[in-house]
Chain A
Amino acid sequence: MPSKFEGLPREMIAMRAAKEVKDGDYVNLGIGIPTLISDWIEGRDIILQSEIGMLKTGPIAFGEDVDQDLINASCQPVTQVPGTAYFDIFESFSMVRGGYMDVIVLGALQVSEKGDLAGWANPARGLDCVGNIGGSMDLCAGAKKLIVTMEHTTRDGQPKLVNELAFPATASGVVNMVFTDLAVIEVTADGLLLREIYPGLTPEDIQSVTEPKLIIAPDLKEIEL
């Protein structure tokens, strides 16, 4: 079954999530949709940390500006800007685990009702027990505020917001907000709170592609870009 509803493209999910980051924040963006957020915060007073060992990561480099000794954690060539700092990996993860990042944005394969996150191993790959953890578990361990950006369902229409994780967990009870192509959802102590919705869809539509029972915010509105 293909995806049931047409929603925001990936770039627009990133655009909406970018509004959740405040000026003055130190932010780490994971691989995938999170990395696209950097396109929407240029010119704002937000400092991007890249766990390879860089604070104040500049825009993606093109042409003559590409330097093979200057990449971000997604292995894209980037640029330095006034105020950039480089440091080694131990220092980098001291910042991450030590709780200095204001906002962490990660992709996910699944998020549970309780804010558990699965992202490091897809059983469909058929590799028993191993996968790419990268920095994801460290980012979860040190997160003050953890945002997930992802498609609302898998390509064949299965919910990614689930009652219990079926995939290997990255961390438990860490996700605060989820931004998808169809909705903005907050993880609360009472369950998943539906706060914003793609124009033209109803809460029942969102519920039909979401496994846990959604709580509908009294001030539910359309996704604001």
Chain B
Amino acid sequence: MDKTYPSPEEAIADVEDGAVIAIPGFFAAGVPRVLLQALIKKGVKNVTLACGCGPLLGAVDELTQLVENKQIKKVIDSYGLFRSMTKGLQDPFEQAVRAGEIELEVYPMGTLAEKYRAGGAGIPAFYTPTGVGSIVEEQVVSNVPSSQAMKKETRIFDGRKYILEYALKTDFAFVHAYEGDREGNLRYRRTAVNFNHVMATAGKVTIAEAENLLEPGDIEPDFVHTPGIYVQRVVKVPRLTFNIGID
């Protein structure tokens, strides 16, 4: 079995307008930036980028380009805005959110992790204590009124309140691996793993960009992080330099 593609452009060739794409990365760590650049080049519109913790702040050049090209319909994230209000006001993404041109749907980070995990694991929904006592318990948190109108269900277990949250399965997942073999087994490096593994399981089609493309067997079987069954395509990419630090 050989899942390798010759280029990022060919690996994402069937991504169409309106696609929902999981984008892992935690600020600057583990973001699939080369695949995002291919998405910009392809120019598809109305995409939903399902994130975990601010990968688009870690890849702000790509984010700005996607916003300027009007390719994004919606972003799902726990931390999608710059921490600094001053910087946020100048950020084209935040400006588009303020204008209602892009939807921002917000969840607690652990709830998002569990939504992707459940999506990949065949579990349609789950109860979590996270968010009880906040607006998260009442409704979907979003800048768009029709989403705000979606109310949440709660239930008491052993005297404590929990919120029903739904699984999230995406059309595609773009993931960033340190090593990937031709059959799709992946390994991540240090804190760059973050959302990459759970999102690889949540994508109907998972496309991995790998800094190092290896032969089957080169990754010690004991140390495979994401087994190849979750990964449909692998493409070799250069190791890009990230600007560490967000405001």
Contact = CB atoms under 8 A, between A and B. Distances in A.
Which 5 pairs, one residue from A and one from B, show the smallest C-beta to C-beta distance?
Answer: A93-B110, A172-B133, A138-B110, A137-B108, A75-B27
A71 B148 CA distance: 34
Q: Pick the most buried of B88, B117, B194, B196: most chain A CB atoms within 10 A of its CB.
A: B194
Interface stretch (A50-58, A184-192, A196-204, A213-221): A50-58
A125 B188 CA distance: 36
Given A52-B194, A88-B193, A132-B79, A77 B244 contact: yes
Contacts, number: 175
Contacts of B27: 71, 75
B42 interface: no
Interface in B126-160: 128-136, 141-143, 148
Interface in B84-121: 85, 88, 94, 97-98, 104, 106-111, 113-114, 116-117
A93 B136 contact: no
Contacts of B32: none
Contact of A86 (B79, B106, B190, B246): B190
- Chain A's interface size range is 35 or more
Contacts of A67: 190
Interface residues of B, number: 60
Given A68-B28, A75-B246, A89-B26, A137 B178 contact: no
Given A52-B29, A69-B178, A76-B245, A127 B129 contact: no
A171 B130 CA distance: 9
A30 to B, nearest CB: 12
Interface of A: 31, 50-54, 66-73, 75-77, 80, 86-90, 92-93, 96-97, 116, 120, 122, 124-138, 140-142, 168-174
B180 interface: no
Given A93-B109, A127-B81, A132-B83, A141 B130 contact: yes
B36 interface: no
